[in-house]
Structure 1
């Protein structure tokens, strides 16, 4: 067995990425923290942290050891709380930033109403979150490869054209249409008249600009015209906001078009959508599936996501 006193010290340093912050949390001196890490490294015969000035980083061996022991430490704490009659109600959810802002946060009052004792911390991520206890307890991710994890389908992503109410009037005037049927017929002709308008493209889904619109035109069996004028943004959230301010037509997905969302709702144009190929999953460790907080949150998320299916 390793020196057991050193294990929670190691977990705290790794989680906070700081010897001084770990010392504050554990209410000990920084030298005491360093001493326990040294004892553990000597026992393992491995260096667990790279130290370069003020920068601290786990080594490959440190990351592996943390992944293995963190869940064991958590289970010990949970077993202790159960014996003491204490229920863990705090849970961390790692989620993509646009999903959190446009879909999750507007629904949190309802979650609080249903589970008033549940304490939720949200960890926003631009890319796929690292599936690890040191990141979160529950994850919304497009990745489905991690040993020891359960993955439950949540949402299959589609993108479709949207614009503001004001820009919709610009489209109608330019296409010389007045009714919704006329607009639908006109927008679904080939070649698509959307190429006549300013299009908003984002980088975040395909890792390059204009690829989203290339995929949309390809789904309509058309090529993206070279004459299109683009407004380029790094993230889907920025494209969404640009469309709200009548900069042009953007491609967004269902969870961003949230009816509970805001006063300046975007208009979904009567055009076809296309699948991006990304499927969203709810992920959690198999060993933690029976924890009350995880069961509450995963059940609620699954029920709310049915509306997107």
Structure 2
């Protein structure tokens, strides 16, 4: 078996992760010259340049990125295999997750994860976009894309949007529509009636201005009424907060209202939903499928998604 200089591999991983020889030296408790020596030795062995150096800026070459992808995963597997053999059951996992999913659904449930599986130490990495699936980014992901054949995927949620407003704003809608005698949300409101009130729009869902409300009207073969008053927000969290403070009607999804106590502040209007086409998956590297921590987290997420009504059995 022909192997590269093994002592250089964790040094390479640290330099690549930190983008710095000096920071890597501090983390590994060695001198900066020792780090430089190890990198030179590794580059000589491989016959490839792993880093570009420009002044104080350090970046990986294409070959360096490719090498890190394989080496980083291998080092993690060695670490976890060693911990398992030594009897250390702790599983330290980095989970990359969308900010809205984390804030509204996942974080309120974490005490239950810690109660059931105290050996799983979870660190959340917030993402505003679907991240590149890589060990360099996280150990596992909640993502809407299944574009990496190296990963396995478990469905958590098929997204749909529906209109909501605050309890106080619902009373205003009832008054203006002449429905004050109704106690329950049991008589459908038409799309034309919805357009009489300010519509709070989230840009990030369809990545266009008022794209969410256009899709909602299109679902019943209507166009967005030209007289509609649209208030624009970059993120669903912002639009939902505006709705909570009585500023109009927002489109939101199931996980945004499935956990937090402030969900009781909102009323789901008696209107049709619209499917966004997005599906949320828990993703993990197939080569790491035997890791107990990953499988405990996968099973717990699926059970919670089923229990909370995000997905069926």
Query: With structure 1 as the length reference, what TM-score do the two structures score?
Result: 0.93
Q: Which residue of 2 aligns with 1:154?
A: 156
CA offsets, 1:68-98, max 9 Å, x none? 1111111222222233222242111111010
Count the aligned residue pairs: 307
Q: How does 1:13-52 map to 2 (within 5 A)?
A: 13-52=15-54
What pairs up with 1:33-72 in 2 under 5 angstroms? 33-72=35-74
Specify the alignment match of 1:278 in structure 2: 278
Is contact 1:199–1:231 with CA below 8 Å preserved after alignment?
Answer: yes
Q: In 1, are the aligned partners of 2:130 and 2:143 still within 8 Å (CA)?
A: yes
- Of the structure 1 ranges 199-208 and 43-52, higher mean CA displacement relative to structure 2 is found in 43-52
Offset from partner CA, 1:177-224 (integer Å, 9 cap, x none): 125589654513xx5211111011111111112011000000022110
1:251 corresponds to which residue? 251
Q: C-alpha separation between the residues in 1 aligned to 2:188 and 2:57?
A: 59
Say if 2:189 is the partner of 1:174: no
Range moving further from structure 2, 32-41 or 224-233? 32-41
1:234-267 deviation per Cα after TM superposition (whole angstroms, max 9, x unaligned): 1111111111111111111100012444376321
1:81 matched to which residue of 2? 83
Equivalence for 1:266? 266
The aligned residue for residue 225 of structure 2 is 225
Mapped to 1, the partners of 2:53 and 2:30 lie a distance apart of 20
Cα distance in 1 between the residues matched to 2:173 and 2:233: 22
TM-aligned CA deviation for residue 228 of structure 1 = 1.1
Gaps of 5+ in 1: none
Cα distance between partner residues in 1 of 2:127 and 2:210:
23
How far does residue 279 in structure 1 lie from its aligned partner after superposition? 0.6
Structure 1 SS opposite 2:59: strand
Instruction: State the Cα deviation string for residues 22-59 of structure 1 (Å, max 9, x = none).
Output: 22211112222222222222222222223334433322
Partner secondary structure for residue 271 of structure 2: coil
Measured in 1, the distance between the counterparts of 2:89 and 2:173 equals 56
2:108 equivalent among 96, 106, 109 = 106
Maintained 8 Å contact 1:186/1:193: no
Match of 2:122 in 1: 120
Question: Is the CA contact 1:162–1:269 (under 8 Å) kept in the aligned structure 2?
Answer: yes
- Higher mean Cα deviation, 191-200 or 156-165? 191-200
| Partners of 1:262 and 1:186 in 2: CA distance | 24
- Structure 2 alignment gaps of length 5 or more: none
In the superposition, the TM-score normalised over structure 2's length comes to: 0.92
The separation in 2 between residues aligned to 1:195 and 1:30, in whole angstroms, is 64
Answering whether residue 9 of structure 2 is matched by residue 7 of structure 1, we say: yes
1 CA distance for matches of 2:261 and 2:101?
12
Other-structure match for 2:289: 289
